[in-house]
Amino acid sequence: MQIQAAFRTDEIRRTPPTPQDEMRAGMSYFHETIWKGVPKFLRRVDTALKNIGIQERVPYNAPVIQFSSWMGGDRDGNPRVTPEVTRDVCLLARMMAANLYFSQIEDLMFELSMWRCNEELRVRADELHSSSKRYAKHYIEFWKQIPPNEPYRVVLGNVRDKLYNTRERSRQLLANGKSDIPEDSTFTNAEQILEPLELCYRSLCACGDRPIADGSLLDFLRQVSTFGLSLVRLDIRQESDRHTDVLDAITKHLGVGSYREWSEEHRREWLLSELRGKRPLFGPDLPKTEEIADVLDTFNVIAELPPDNFGAYIISMATSPSDVLAVELLQRECHVQQPLRVVPLFEKLADLEAAPASMACLFSINWYRDRIKGKQEVMIGYSDSGKDAGRLSAAWQLYKAQEELVKVAKQYGVKLTMFHGRGGTVGRGGGPTHLAILSQPPDTIHGSLRVTVQGEVIEKSFGEEHLCFRTLQRFTAATLEHGMHPPVSPKSEWRALMDEMAVVATKEYRSIVFQEPRFVEYFRLATPELEYGRMNIGSRPSKRKPSGGIESLRAIPWIFAWTQTRFHLPVWLGFGAAFKHVIQKDTKNLHTLQEMYNQWPFFRVTIDLVEMVFAKGGPGIAALYDKLLVSEELRPFGDRLRANYEENKLFLLQIAGHKDLLEGDPYLKQRLRLRDAYITTLNVFQAYTLKQIRDPDYHVTVRPHLSKDYMESTKPAAELVKLNPASEYAPGLEDTLILTMKGIAAGLQNTG
């Protein structure tokens, strides 16, 4: 039944998803797997502790893993994420959380039927029993008055009723913007739910019923501590430049000059003087453009909603201390009672290099140190740093930036949490979780880290119960292992070699991607980048700015386009030039590189992932795209890149000591071999479809593979064409292209 239903369902999304759609899709993983997966995983941790002689369980109020989300909060270059969307998403999450708790509390009431309890619980149950409303309108027949000889049920019945009100209030606010349910009849924070549950737990333990307390009740306590009332905390992300626009409008309105034109030092001085003072900076008369109103309205939504809805405020493209102080000031001006922690996101190579000095400057400000209370989070971006300088240089700069940031934090007595902004693909920092964590520099994890699980890999991490369990296990195990057995620090000669190679790799990468006059033209001809937006797989536009070249293109379409043609240029470009340079300079360097591969986890993981990408690559496929789609004068450029590809591959094998790709992972090698015939077929379909789309006069003659009788009797092709009547291309071409894109992406998934 399910196979047939899937087969009869349209393969293609016909309209782009809204941010609310994305949020609902993301939340479905909580509903389906994560909600039950967390307590199950924590029981496994309890067992592991018991096995090594530790009898205590993991405390329910110290969550091992917590979840946040960007869905509906990430407005970086996405005009569809408005303040209204953020508000809707927060209320929707609250409603879903209350619904999950509500369905679970009934099971718990069924289990906790015992009459014996401690005095504390008895007093509470008697109070509730005498004051409870016997006939509330929304009560169904099953919800009759609970007898006083079931004290646990009396207490939990009150929790259930409040959860019902909490859910209904969120539903009404979401639908109408107002609610007739008073807030004091609902739960407004997680502590209010935990209090009666803790009371039940203490009572059971006091009466000798610890095994009962450690059953479903403990699981429930752990869920409340992990998910709170908002299910996930929403992170807000906005580009630093947008905050500069707002402050520029404010300073001009106040008549003190143009904030945008001030030096960094002047900006800092002014921001701090305002943060230390109390005067309001602006009123309703502030002249606002649409963009400025959007930023301020977002802060107003943060101020309006309960603080446990939100996690961090992340500043993308952060470059300097004033970027952080600007957000702190705007939070205060918009009356955010419990300000969000502000997290700078350093992405490009130059910003990563300057990050330690920026944070040192912030930590040296007394006002800021008092504000953060000894804790700071810094996010580092793998996608945009890779797009900016190539994978080798980006990986090394990310490694060094983390080392330096930790030193700075130690110097000022601040506990630093690194937030890794990784994508799913290797070009965006993806890779096996366990190895990725273990290859981080020593002292950079300290028992806690944050990571992104991107949309394109959520299914593989949390799509089924066993996958969810394994994902939670991997993150926890690797984080513990990194702390107990820190990886080796690189030797000084390894560092020197990496520094030298990074300079050469960046130069090679940028000379082709940013300085080659016709590279953008070649890229757009040789890949399906221009057609990518038709897939409707996300709510964000593929570019931060509608005009502009590679620098304005988002990291996902940049990587995706090259993945489709099996050329993976952003991953490997620069490696070969770097290796060639140092080996030609001194042949002993080859031995040093091999030593680095064998002894240094960071270098080994970097090389192994690129090797895996080469195993999935196919320069012959890329040549077919060139032959069909690229103008004749640009084809030598493609030939040169493919020669570069082969040279890179040879150097990589030499350093890894392998005769063949994936020699050290025969299982993966076999999986890729099995898949290759299918992906190659899709590539050929795609290349010819692109040719027909771009050149309507081009005709492909194919031998029919279905009998004429079958075609005439079922008319499947004609039916499918009706699904997309708005296409500007010949019937079926657009659908064929989208299906090949989906198939190739699935076939080239990050199997590492």
Cβ neighbours of residue 544 closer than 8 Å, sequence gap 6 or more? 76, 77, 239, 552, 554
Among residues 396, 392, 394, 362, which one has the least CA distance to residue 378? Answer: 362
Residue 729's SS3 state is coil
Q: Which amino acid is at 659?
A: K
Burial annotation 275-286 (CB, 10 A radius, 16+ → b, else e): beeeeebeeeeb
| Pair of tokens at residue 283 | 């009123």
Residue 57's SS3 state is coil
Residue 418's SS3 state is strand
| Pair of tokens at residue 557 | 């379409």
Q: If you search the block for the tokens 């937030």, which residue do you land on?
A: 419
Task: Give one DSSP letter per residue of 505-535, joined into a string.
Answer: HHHHHHHHHTSSTTHHHHHHHHSSTTTGGGG
Contacts 24+ apart (CB under 8 A), 622-627: 622/526, 622/565, 622/566, 622/567, 624/683, 624/684, 624/687, 625/526, 625/527, 625/565, 625/687, 625/690, 626/526
- Residues 155, 128 contacting (CB under 8 angstroms): yes
CA–CA gap between residue 740 and residue 746 (Å, rounded): 10
Beginning with the edge strand found earlier in the chain, give each strand of the sheet holding 450-451 in spatial order. 68-69, 233-239, 310-316, 341-346, 375-381, 415-421, 450-451
- Residues 229, 62 contacting (CB under 8 angstroms): no
Q: At what angle do helices 19-29 and 83-111 cross, to 10 degrees?
A: 20
- What number of residues does the chain have? 752
| Pair of tokens at residue 363 | 């930590």
DSSP 553: B
Q: Tell me whether residue 278 is one of the annotated catalytic residues.
A: no
Q: Which of 36, 162, 348, 387 is catalytic?
A: 387
The values of phi and psi at residue 481, to 5°, are -65, -40
Handedness of CA 595, 600, 606, 609 (dihedral sign): positive
Cα torsion through 381, 383, 385, 390, rounded to 10: 150
Among residues 238, 229, 234, which one has the least CA distance to residue 88? Answer: 234
Cβ neighbours of residue 197 closer than 8 Å, sequence gap 6 or more? 159, 217, 220, 221, 224
Q: What is the largest CA-CA distance in the chain?
A: 89
- Residue 262 C-beta-side C-alpha neighbours within 13 Å: 19
- Residues 564, 614 contacting (CB under 8 angstroms): no
- Residues 624, 586 contacting (CB under 8 angstroms): no
- Residues 234, 302 contacting (CB under 8 angstroms): no
Active centre residues (catalytic): 387
